[in-house]
Amino acid sequence: MVSGGVACLVLGGGWVLGGAGLVPQRSPDRVQAVNVGGYSVGISFATRQPTKSCVVVVGWPLTLKGGCEKGGRRVTHLIEVKDLQPERTYLALVETEGRLAWFKTVRVETEAVEEQVPLPPDPGYGSVVDPEGNPVVGALVVIYPVSEKFYYPVATLTNIEGNYAVDISPLARLSDRLRIEAVSTQGIWADLSVDSSVYSPFPPITVRTD
């Protein structure tokens, strides 16, 4: 897996043609770095078809870290890579189905270790439902600060009750408003904006699941 990812990097990144050709249904979409800390990053993405995916993170001085999803194939993906170094730039390669053909890259810079003791937690939580109000299990939820300045979002997957909880303390100090995006297990996106001062639970996000 790691050597495969590196081979892709050597090829130059982006799309490449593999044995089965370009197959967007299983290629990762909306790949982004989330939950970025000093020592770990998360990579979130979605695929149109259920897949098994891995992430390889490459840094300099030469560092190779990676992780693969456990369990069955899925459409919404969140893979965490640990044991990184603060304030370094890494290139994350997302690979699906173990095929070199279906991969994308994202550049990520790990945060500096905070000089001051971290803020206490500030849980942001809510639910993702389908148009009939049924909980959507395994939906990908990504929360951004509404700000002109770029900041890495935080992300999680909904639990078996279709609910999510994630620490928004790093975001709430950056902006008064948050944008919450959710992607259903069918790969369909929806979003809403909330005041970061609004007490959780946030309003439910309705996503189509057809």
Partner 1 sequence: MDFKIRPGFFGGKNWWVTMTLSVILIGTVGIAVILRLTKFSSVWFRQGAEAGEMSLTGKAIVAEEAEVAEAEVSYELLEGWNLVAFPFSPLTVKSAALLIEDVRQQGGTVSAVSRWDGDGWQEYVERGTERYGYDFAIEPGKAYFLRSHDYLQWRVVGVPPIKKEVLPIELRSGWQAIGIIQSPLTAGQVLSAINDGEERAVEIDWWRSGSWEVFVQRRYSVENAQEYGTNFTIEPTKGYMVKAMSEGWLRQFE
| Interface positions with partner 1 (CB under 8 A) | 35, 37-40, 82, 86, 111, 113-114, 117-118, 120-121, 123, 125-127, 154, 156, 159, 161, 163-167, 169-170, 200-201
162 is written with which tokens? 């279709």
How many angstroms separate the CA atoms of 173 and 18, rounded? 45
Judged by beta carbon, residue 86 or residue 203, the one nearer partner 1 is 86
**Do 120 and 29 meet the contact criterion of CB atoms below 8 Å apart?**
no
Shortest Å distance, C-beta 170 to partner 1: 7
Judged by beta carbon, residue 101 or residue 139, the one nearer partner 1 is 139
Shortest Å distance, C-beta 121 to partner 1: 4
Element (H, E) at 7: helix 2-11
By the 10 Å C-beta count (0-12 exposed, 13-18 middle, 19+ buried), 48 is classed as: middle
Judged by beta carbon, residue 82 or residue 208, the one nearer partner 1 is 82
By the 10 Å C-beta count (0-12 exposed, 13-18 middle, 19+ buried), 54 is classed as: buried
Residues ≥6 apart with Cβ < 8 Å to 10: none
Judged by beta carbon, residue 103 or residue 152, the one nearer partner 1 is 152
Shortest Å distance, C-beta 26 to partner 1: 27
Shortest Å distance, C-beta 4 to partner 1: 27
Shortest Å distance, C-beta 39 to partner 1: 5
Judged by beta carbon, residue 40 or residue 49, the one nearer partner 1 is 40
How many CB atoms are located within 10 Å of the residue 90 CB? 22
